[in-house]
Amino acid sequence: MRVQLKKGVLELCVLSILNDQDTYGYNIYQIVNKIMGISESTIYPILRKLVTSGYVNTYLKPSSSGPARKYFTLTDVGKAHRVTLKHDWLAFRKQVEKIIGSDVT
């Protein structure tokens, strides 16, 4: 998948992962990478932006395999933002499908 297409939806993907569970940055990377094939360095700027915007909070959680990990959790504002982004994405997808068609060959 092209880089620009991925960049357009990664914020929604990260918020959706956090909507299901609190987790740490590397785990978010692993989930997204398994499906979309991204570099690890892609996730952390998105997480910083989400924290700065107030959509995500952080807390430290002890780890059995080393130092404490920084976990990310969705705020109420972040949950509302995720819903808005999801609606925007679905509407955009429908618009593009009207132009290119929805058949996949």
Residue with tokens 């914020």: 11
CA distances from 105 to 2, 36, 74, 94, 100 (A): 18, 19, 37, 18, 12
pLDDT one-digit tens code per residue, 34-81? 999 888 899 999 999 999 999 999 999 998 888 999 999 999 999 999
Whether 105 is covered by a domain: the verdict is no
Q: What is the mean pLDDT of the chain?
A: 91
Whether 22 is covered by a domain: the verdict is yes
Q: What is the CATH number of the domain that holds 35?
A: 1.10.10.10
Whether 73 is covered by a domain: the verdict is yes
Domains in the chain, number: 1
Q: In what order do the strands lie in the sheet with 66-74?
A: 23-24, 66-74, 56-63
In percent, the amount of the chain with pLDDT more than 70 equals 92
DSSP class of 42: G
Whether 45 is covered by a domain: the verdict is yes
